[in-house]
Amino acid sequence: MKSKKILKYLKNPGLFFRVLFNKIFYSPMSAIIPDGTWLKYNYRLRTGGKLDLRNPKTFNEKLQWLKLYDRDPDYSSLVDKYEVRKYIAETIGEEFLIPLYGVWDSFDEIPFDALPDQFVLKCTHDSASVVICQDKNSLDMAGVRKYFIKKLAQNYYWPGREWVYKNIKPRIIAEKLMVDESGVELKDYKIFCFNGEPKIIEVIFDRHIKNPKINLYSTKWEYQPFMAEYPTAPEIIIQRPQSLALMLGLAKKISSGKNFLRIDFYLIEDKLYFGELTFYPTSGYIRFDPPKWNRTFGDWVSLPISGK
């Protein structure tokens, strides 16, 4: 096995350095570099541009600013996928929560015999660490165990210096497997709220069955012809949700008092379910096309002061 890895790295030296960089990237070894310095370096590496923290103008720049200077200690519980359930229940009602089967500190604690045949496993302390189980009897238990052991050992704070994740206790939750009218996946309705006001709705689809696509809409459900990270599919008509007004009202309530917050919902047979909260989408490195939308989004974020 080791010889195969060595041969692979010899054939592709760039792969070796990417693996090495990622190990450092996700490690406390990077703590020797202050957050501000790390963000400036990473911003240039990811975007090719210079990060202006004194007078940020674009959306991506302002998200980096918020990482450094908007540090309300309550934010960490809002991105913890278990703890946030309490906030949502208190703020808009527990009827919007996806049914929960349990929460555990390690993979080996999960009582799989007690779980239904279908479920979803998620890490509570990071983003996108998800395993969808369609059939418990065919689940690759060894592979899933290895996956979660690795994910639980990572601190999501280090790569993007998203401080809200730094002190979250790593755990695993199991939720009910939910699907929409497609029968195979859930479309994500992601509402971008700026200073408590919904402005843009991002709908992600084909995430689990094809290449992910994102269509963007105004709050009046007008298609917006730009790309934010993933390709758009304007030929795909996504119907205006009947519960759009409710969705926007809930997002406004949840985001009240926040400089920026993205609220994710799922829609199943016109019933809304809460997904998660995000303070820094794509860690503040969203690729906009055309680029002017980066500035448009940035203009919607009113920072407490112009910069530091």
* Span 217-244, pLDDT tens digits: 999 999 999 999 888 989 988 999 999 9
What six digits make up the tokens of 200? 């843009």
Provide the pLDDT for residue 260. 98
Residues 173 and 282 in one domain: no
Residues 129 and 263 in one domain: no
Q: Model confidence over 107-133: pLDDT tens digits?
A: 999 999 999 999 999 999 999 899 999
The region that residue 213 occupies, defined by phi over 0 for left and psi between -120 and 50 for alpha, beta otherwise, is beta
Exposed, middle or buried: residue 202 (CB in 10 Å: 0-12, 13-18, 19+)?
Answer: buried
249 pLDDT exceeds 80?
A: yes
Q: Among 100-114, 209-223, 291-305, where is mean pLDDT lowest?
A: 209-223
CA distances 253 to 8, 109, 188, 263, Å, are 51, 36, 19, 10
What does DSSP say about strands 223-224 and 260-268: parallel, antiparallel, or unpaired?
Answer: unpaired
Query: Which of 128, 162, 178 corresponds to the end of one domain?
Result: 178
Residues 196 and 305 in one domain: yes
Q: Which residue has the tokens 């979250």?
A: 168
Residues 200 and 60 in one domain: yes
pTM value is: 0.89
Look at residue 139 and tell me if it is in a domain. Answer: yes
Q: What domain range is 157 assigned to? A: 80-85+97-178
- Closest by alpha carbon to 226, among 293, 131, 298? 293
Look at residue 9 and tell me if it is in a domain. Answer: no
Q: How many domains does the chain have?
A: 2
Distance (Å, rounded) from C-alpha 57 to C-alpha 74? Answer: 26
Look at residue 22 and tell me if it is in a domain. Answer: no
Average pLDDT over residues 167-196: 90
Distance (Å, rounded) from C-alpha 26 to C-alpha 16? Answer: 16
8 pLDDT exceeds 70?
A: no
Provide the pLDDT for residue 46. 87
Residues 262 and 150 in one domain: no
Q: Model confidence over 12-64: pLDDT tens digits?
A: 665 565 555 556 665 676 778 899 999 998 899 889 999 999 999 999 999 99
Q: Which residue has the tokens 């911003």?
A: 43
Question: When comparing pLDDT for 307 and 29, which is higher?
Answer: 29
Residues 56 and 108 in one domain: no
| 3-state SS assignment for residue 66 | helix
CA distances 205 to 118, 180, 208, 237, Å, are 21, 11, 8, 12
How far from the centroid of its chain's Cα atoms is residue 114's Cα?
29
Q: Which residue has the tokens 């007690």?
A: 114
| 3-state SS assignment for residue 82 | coil
Look at residue 20 and tell me if it is in a domain. Answer: no
